[in-house]
Amino acid sequence: QKDWSGSFPSGKKITVVFVIGGPGSGKGTQCAKIVSHFGFTHLSAGDLLREEVKSDTEQGTMIKNLMHEGKLVPSEIIVRLLLKAMLASGNDKFLIDGFPRNEENREAYEKIIKIEPEFVLLIDCSREEMERRILHRNQGRDDDNMETIRRRFEVFQQSTLPVIQHYEKMGKLRRVVHSEDYDN
């Protein structure tokens, strides 16, 4: 495995913060605010994948289908896209939004990018509120329909909560609560 940390400016400390939260919890919205104040580069994993879908390739079609079903794309694909975007930015501070979404994502990141996150920001929001926000956001997203939303919530519960618990155990989790009635 190539050690990509050598591809970043040498001697420079690279800061990574993961921003995790359920679908529609406000990850993108909060990241935009943080970036404008603190000079981070905001990388939305979902946006990188949507860009990839636009390139009319076989991989783009595969990603499109998985996203339409609310499923996760293979870890190497998203990790590679993140690495490319990090290197292209020339920055040394990154807010990575919507990643890692499962333990396999986290392990692939640790193996390939190897930059331990400074901390992990969890945006905690009730399911009811997340659902309301998604249904009102009008971004023309093909996965913002009830059926796919239900699937995305399941993936969050089953696959992303274990990642959150991992970082909580490591003392790296910082939780921001958006709603009082989060029932989990």
Ligand X SMILES: Nc1ncnc2c1ncn2[C@@H]1O[C@H](COP(=O)(O)OP(=O)(O)O)[C@@H](O)[C@H]1O
Q: Applying CB under 5 A, which residues contact Mg ion? A: 28
Residues forming contacts to ligand UDP in the complex (CB under 6 A) are 23-24, 27, 44-46, 49, 66-67, 70-73, 78, 98-99, 101, 105, 143, 152
Q: Coil, helix or strand for 40?
A: coil
What's the closest the beta carbon of residue 79 comes to ligand X, in angstroms?
19
CA separation, residue 22 to residues 11, 73, 159 (Å): 35, 17, 11
Closer CB to ligand X, residue 26 or residue 100? 26
49 binds, among ligand UDP, Mg ion, ligand X, none (CB under 5 to 8 A by kind): ligand UDP
Q: Coil, helix or strand for 143?
A: coil
What's the closest the beta carbon of residue 9 comes to ligand X, in angstroms?
29
What's the closest the beta carbon of residue 23 comes to Mg ion, in angstroms?
8
Closer CB to ligand UDP, residue 118 or residue 131? 131
Q: Is 84 exposed, middle or buried (0-12, 13-18, 19+ CB in 10 A)?
A: exposed
Q: Is 69 exposed, middle or buried (0-12, 13-18, 19+ CB in 10 A)?
A: middle
